[in-house]
Amino acid sequence: MRLALITTLIALGAACTGGEAPAPAPAPAPVVETPAAPPEPPIPAAQLALFTPIKAGTVAPTDKGLVDLGRTLYYDTRLSADRDLSCNSCHLLDKYGVDGTPTSTGHKGQKGGRNAPTVYNAFGHIAQFWDGRAANLVDQAKGPVLNPIEMAMPSDKALVDLLTTIPGYQSAFARAFPAEPEPISYDNVARAIAAFEEHLATPSRFDEYLNGKFSALTEDERKGLDTFISTGCVACHTGAFVGGGMYQKIGLVEPYPTKDKGRSVVTKNKADDFFFKVPSLRNIAETAPYFHDGSVPTLEDAVRLMGKHQLGKQLDDATVGSIVTFLKSLTGTIDQAYISQPVLPVDGPNTPKP
């Protein structure tokens, strides 16, 4: 930087002192070595064994028609019985995919029993929902539309019939599913929404760090990462999503007060009582309140409770603060263009009103 400036000044000076005499042949420009950036220290191998950068889902969507349709459906409140709720009502894409409340408000003001997890990076989890009852995003997307306390559509057929009355959807489904004689189906609604969600990835400075740029994390964040590892959080929160890869019991060491039995309701196996999917900690500083019951408003308290219930450790304020400093580096970038709300196709003459 400074060298370049000096070179420019010298060049300017030369130009000014030229005078009237015929200019001598210009001296060859001095070769200026751009100073090499100081070498980045290597990322510790032990850390690279625990975490990987976000990859899947960050590739540009190849099937634009399908993804565009999914985005439109994601924002369309006509997927709900009273035409007042869309996926975005509970998973606000400009709010890191959550609604910021302990439990969401669904059809006719009803409350569910669990906190709405973020849709960002969900494509990378072993399964969907806190209890993993949907194997993947396609299966998941079929749930909320028919759930009587969420979007409360009376049946899958009612939704297909409604979408069929909207001319813009007829053409959009035909474009997204060109090989199919009846492109508007409940399965295809779910496929399109899932295709859109596949690209809701939020890489952060942590990914730059894992990719070799040591200086992408501050010294305090690197210390926090060490604390996160040495405290034992990585027994469960590892991988590209710093979680999302396994089920574990909430209250493994010290029981956690909850009536929700979690995974055992799905597997019918008592051994799975109080097991939940270990949540991803990507964007965790932005997705309060915490835990399946949404009962914990601050990240500091969530970390402290994890120490107590999962590890049997009383974490002091400095340790909690250090871990939180690291966790904040997991806040990623939202692709604003990708999530921008499309113009929804207008009702046809026969589209039913609520």
CA distance 341 to 93: 10
Of 73, 62, 145, give the one whose Cα is nearest residue 342: 73
Q: CA separation (Å) from 155 to 83, 133, 249, 351?
A: 15, 20, 35, 16
Which listed range, 16-24, 139-147, 198-206, 214-222, lies at the site for ligand HEC (CB under 6 A)? 139-147
DSSP-assigned beta bridge partners for residue 128: 134
Amino acid at 290: Y
Question: Token digits for 240?
Answer: 């590209």
- Tokens 């409360």 -> residue: 152
Confirm or reject binding of residue 114 to ligand HEC (CB under 6 A): yes
CA distance 11 to 83: 69
Which listed range, 26-34, 36-44, 145-153, 202-210, lies at the site for ligand HEC (CB under 6 A)? 145-153
Contact with ligand HEC (CB under 6 A): which of 76, 102, 120, 150?
150
List the catalytic residue out of 20, 40, 150, 254: 150
Burial label for 310, CB within 10 Å (0-12, 13-18, 19+), is buried
C-beta of 71: minimal distance to ligand HEC in Å? 11
Confirm or reject binding of residue 188 to ligand HEC (CB under 6 A): no
Confirm or reject binding of residue 199 to ligand HEC (CB under 6 A): no
Q: What is the CA radius of gyration of the chain?
A: 26
C-beta of 57: minimal distance to ligand HEC in Å? 13
Cβ proximity to ligand HEC: between 16 and 294 the closer is 294
Confirm or reject binding of residue 248 to ligand HEC (CB under 6 A): yes
CA distance 183 to 179: 8
Of 345, 351, 343, 349, give the one whose Cα is nearest residue 158: 351
In contact, 90 and 100? CB cutoff 8 Å: no
Confirm or reject binding of residue 307 to ligand HEC (CB under 6 A): yes
Cβ proximity to ligand HEC: between 250 and 334 the closer is 250
Question: Token digits for 155?
Answer: 């049946």
CA distance 287 to 272: 26
Catalytic residue check, 197: no
Cβ proximity to ligand HEC: between 87 and 334 the closer is 87
Cβ proximity to ligand HEC: between 151 and 195 the closer is 151
CA distance 345 to 349: 13
Confirm or reject binding of residue 191 to ligand HEC (CB under 6 A): no
Amino acid at 71: R
Cβ proximity to ligand HEC: between 75 and 177 the closer is 75
x/- map, 277-296, ligand HEC, by CB under 6 A: -xx-x--x--x--xxx----
Confirm or reject binding of residue 303 to ligand HEC (CB under 6 A): yes
Contact with ligand HEC (CB under 6 A): which of 67, 81, 90, 229?
90
Of 77, 334, 323, 348, give the one whose Cα is nearest residue 220: 323
CA distance 184 to 308: 50
Confirm or reject binding of residue 89 to ligand HEC (CB under 6 A): yes
Residue count, binding to ligand HEC (CB under 6 A)? 50
Which sequence positions are flagged as catalytic? 150
User: Binding residues for ligand HEC, per CB under 6 A?
Assistant: 85, 87, 89-91, 104, 106, 112, 114, 116-117, 119, 122, 125, 128-130, 137, 140-141, 144-145, 150-151, 193, 231-233, 235-237, 248, 250, 252, 276, 278-279, 281, 284, 287, 290-292, 302-303, 306-307, 310-311, 323
